[in-house]
Amino acid sequence: MTLSEEQFLYLLRAGLWGRACGAFPVAALGRLSVGEDSVPDWQGILRLARQQSVLLLVQDGLEVLLEAEPQWAQEGKALPPMHLLKLQRFRGKTAKAHAELEDLMGEILAALSADGLHPVVLKGEPLSTYYLHPESRSCGDIDLWVPPQEWKRAASCLSERLEDGERNNRHRAYSSGANEVELHFQALELENPFRQRAFRRYSEQELKENTRPCALPLTGLKLQVPSEGFNALFILAHAFHHFIEGGVGLRQLCDWVRVLEHSSWDAAALAALQDQLRQFALTKAWQVFGFIAVQFLGLPKEKLPFYNPRAVKDAAKVLALILSEGNFGRYGKGKLGKDAEEGYLSKKNKSLRLGFRRLFAKSSIFPSETIFYLPRWAAQAFRRLRRGK
């Protein structure tokens, strides 16, 4: 791990928890000191923060650092004013985006409610309530779940108000300006068909019977969200799905960390969670991502059920992939990401090689979990090739 990556993770932890977590690193882990007088590579740190969609959390961490070590500003090591101004502008844009997203969510839920529909809001904006500074969480899509028998009626209602988008076998997408809305009748699609049926039964029962009310931080909009126990499992499953399929950012793991920090588990809940992790083949993913959550994102060990310190090697590999690939795998393409080859077939060839290389790297960590992704990945690649996309 480079020094910039260590410093980035330090600031991210500080922003997540609102406190300094030890001394700010001035030498890369396992390497000789580079000197305490060296100025951090702020440009590199902020680039990592943008790629992981945690820029404002890192800014929060910077404020914590300056409170803990005020000499940084006096010695000229603090973030340069130019970068600070850009961060402040981005914070203003993000606050506006949050307000627009919550307003749109209110309009959609009101329209659905008038039609007798009461969806559950998955992930997204409600998770900002778990953060110390809700506005520091990056905005995302609006994900709504309704029971399968109500899905067509809900889809018809949204089609009257929003622009239609992508459709697949688990959701339909809509858009309103820069905001995306997804209407789900199944919360997540696992690649193994047997596990998928089991997860669908589990999630439908949970989302029908164990939801809770939530008020959004900016507008106070009241809505229904999953229980914290469901979220702890679902957010991990969703992040793992994206990690294997394309890539995942630390933003998703920060959501998981904040949910876990607010969760409590009695003996019955722990037994149920253990059964669910086994049933959905998520035990190893839970332990590997959990090691990252504890050791690199600062989650207290007692807040993570089934913590496994032996996951250290796999966790290091996963974290390296996350840091190189960025949010949803948009970065870390290397030579395959350059535009030197302009031809359509050349670009498709590069895309296929990149996808296979990433899948192969992840199969060395999660072999049995990754094998089920190969057929769908190949089928999707072939369909895109036929459609000329």
Q: What are the beta bridge partners of residue 214?
A: 223
Residue 243 has which token pair? Answer: 């990690």
Domain 100-189+211-225: assigned CATH number: 3.30.460.40
Q: What are the beta bridge partners of residue 173?
A: 182
Sorted by where each begins, the domain ranges of the chain are 1-79, 100-189+211-225, 227-332, 340-389
Among residues 31, 65, 67, 21, which one has the least CA distance to residue 45? 65
Query: How far is Cα 270 from Cα 370, in angstroms, rounded to an integer?
Result: 26
User: With left for phi above 0 and alpha for psi between -120 and 50, is residue 18 left, alpha or beta?
Assistant: left
Query: How far is Cα 317 from Cα 314, in angstroms, rounded to an integer?
Result: 5
Q: Which residues contact 271 (CB under 8 A, 6 or more apart)?
A: none
Q: pLDDT tens string for the chain (389 positions)?
A: 899 999 999 999 999 999 988 888 887 555 444 444 478 899 999 999 999 999 999 999 999 988 888 777 666 677 888 998 999 999 999 999 999 999 999 999 999 999 999 999 999 999 999 999 999 999 989 999 999 999 999 999 999 999 988 777 677 899 998 899 999 999 988 878 888 899 999 999 999 999 999 999 888 999 999 999 999 999 999 999 989 888 899 999 999 999 999 999 999 999 999 999 999 999 999 999 999 999 999 999 999 999 999 999 999 999 999 999 988 787 876 555 555 555 655 665 666 667 777 888 888 899 987 887 777 666 666 665 665 55
**Sign of the torsion formed by the C-alpha atoms of 230, 235, 240 and 246:** positive
Query: How far is Cα 344 from Cα 228, in angstroms, rounded to an integer?
Result: 46
Query: How far is Cα 59 from Cα 62, in angstroms, rounded to an integer?
Result: 5
Q: Given this model, what pLDDT does residue 34 score?
A: 41
User: With left for phi above 0 and alpha for psi between -120 and 50, is residue 53 left, alpha or beta?
Assistant: left
